[in-house]
Amino acid sequence: MFPWGDERRFNSYSRFCKAHYGGRIQRLPVDAGFSCPNRVSRTEGGCTYCANVAFSPSYLSDNESVVSQLENGKRFFEKRYPCNNGYFAYFQSYTNTFAPLRVLCEKYEAALTVSEVKGIIVSTRPDCLSESVLDYFSELKNRTELCVEVGVESFHNETLEHIHRGHTVECVFEAFHRLKERNIPACAHLIFGLPGEKPEQWLSDVKMLNELRPQFVKFHQLQIFKGTPMEVEFATSPERFHTLTVEEYVAFICDYLENLSAEIVVERFSAEAPPRFLSVSRWNLLRHDALVRKIEEELERRGGWQGSVMQNR
Ligand code: SF4
């Protein structure tokens, strides 16, 4: 039995859901029609890898109300992944706190009227969490499940500047501090493979993640999407990109997990955008659950688990 209370070698989101909700909760992506401050008000035109369309299910349309998107999502998922424990409305597209508070409340509260929706997940940027939004979240979390997913992406200001993220690492720490002050559950989203960075660097950055101490974390390998400035950069300066094979990624993730605080719940290890959006596809459609199996096999082979290196220090 590991510190989080089950036999798996990492603190998994499925364990968390089972303990808190009795089992798996299906996320229903919602496009609430928001934009992103990094795309509309900055000269650089957004993050160089940004391709929101690649992450939006085909049945989603921002022309439809939040309620009707959620009802469509329920119909879509109940055939594929029957799930009796309910749903989370996942405000995923663009920056979901980038609107006047009145508009945000309208959209979030509409989601909560849908039957079997147990809570909401709000994806956003660290520089887009106003005091009034945080105050509203403080109240909201007392009457529903809530998680704020914050794009951290890199712990290096040089990288953040290079990819036009439009915020700094200090801003990330400030955002998590303000969320923590209010006890608002938060998830950190990180990308491995951004230009100019190397695996040794990511591994040493795990200290920063432990310091940030989000309740949840999501890891993604870098995906390069068609039509983005990053696609051009990859074509012209491939030497700036350190891309890993599946085997290398598995070994790296195991090293990372062994150094990661056992308290942080890991939601994902990789992203799975449809191949038609990808400029470079290296992993031959490896599904997330297959990757997780490989990671767990490797942890077992080496006798490691999440936080095992920290514990033995
Ligand atoms: S913050 Fe998100 S939506 Fe905004 S430009 Fe970057 S990747 Fe795109």
Separation of CA 196 and ligand 1 centre (Å):
20
Of 244, 253, 180, 192, which is closest to residue 10 (Cα–Cα)? 253
State whether the beta carbon of 50 lies less than 6 angstroms from ligand 1.
yes
| 3 state DSSP class of 173 | helix
Distance CA 176, CA 184 (A): 9
Q: Which atom of ligand 1 is nearest to the CA of 165?
A: 6
pLDDT by residue, tens only, the chain of 313 residues: 899 999 999 999 999 999 999 999 999 999 999 999 998 865 567 999 998 777 666 666 768 999 999 999 999 888 887 767 899 999 999 999 999 999 999 999 999 999 999 999 999 999 999 999 999 999 999 999 999 999 999 999 999 999 999 999 999 999 999 999 999 999 999 999 999 999 999 999 999 999 999 999 999 999 999 999 999 999 999 999 998 999 999 999 999 999 999 999 999 999 887 777 787 767 766 789 999 999 999 999 999 999 999 866 6
Question: Which residue CA neighbors atom 2 of ligand 1 most closely?
Answer: 94
- Ligand 1 touching residue 46 (CB < 6 A): yes
What is the Cα 312 distance to its own chain's centre? Answer: 29
Query: Residue written as tokens 């979390």?
Result: 141
Which atom of ligand 1 is closest in space to residue 93's alpha carbon? 3
- 230 CA distance to ligand 1 middle (Å): 13
The secondary structure element, H or E, covering residue 29 is: strand 26-30
Full set of structural domains in the chain with CATH: 13-306 (3.20.20.70)
CB 270 within 8 A of CB 221: yes
58 Cβ neighbours under 8 A, 6+ residues apart: none
Q: Any idea which residue has 């799930």 for tokens?
A: 83
Phi first, then psi, for residue 157 (nearest 5°) are -60, -35
Evaluate: CB of 223 within 6 angstroms of ligand 1. no
- Are 41 and 105 in contact by the 8 Å Cβ rule? The answer is no
Q: Are the C-beta atoms of residues 26 and 77 closer than 8 Å to each other?
A: yes
CA of 18 to the centre of ligand 1 (A): 32
Cα separation values, 37 from 40, 221, 299, 313, Å: 5, 24, 40, 43
Q: What is the pLDDT of residue 62?
A: 67
Neighbour tally for 215: CB within 10 Å:
19
Sequence-distant (≥ 6) Cβ neighbours of residue 171 within 8 angstroms: 126, 127
Q: Is the distance from CB of 147 to CB of 121 less than 8 angstroms? A: yes
For ligand 1, the distance from its centroid to the CA atom of residue 277, given in whole angstroms, is 16
Q: What atom of ligand 1 comes closest to residue 46's alpha carbon? A: 5
